[in-house]
Amino acid sequence: MAELVDPARCPLCGGRNDCALADPARGSACADCWCSQVTFDRELLQCVPDSAAGKACICRNCATRPDRPSAEPPWNSNSPRA
């Protein structure tokens, strides 16, 4: 059975991602979202579980914290990456 992904939750920490695209009340205006102002590097994106890729946004906290891992985080250590 496929894992359900909540588009309003960060796939890394499970916190709210506050993504405008995930909020039907805000519509799909990406320019209005905080994430349009942040660069998501490849290492961080590789930490997203395959089941959530393209379905849920990383939260601002995970995207911008200075001590975030640059490779596999402990919350996704069982997921192999290429």
The per-residue pLDDT string of the chain (82 residues; one tens digit each, 9 = 90 and over) reads: 556 899 899 999 999 998 887 776 766 566 678 888 888 888 889 999 999 998 899 999 999 877 665 544 444 444 333 3
pLDDT of residue 69: 55
HSE (side-chain half, CA atoms, 13 Å) at 73: 18
Q: How do the domains of the chain map onto residue ranges?
A: 20-76
**CA distances from residue 39 to 19, 42, 51 in whole angstroms, order as listed:** 15, 10, 22
Amino acid identity for residue 7 in this structure: P
Angle at 39 between CA 52 and CA 59, to 5 degrees: 45
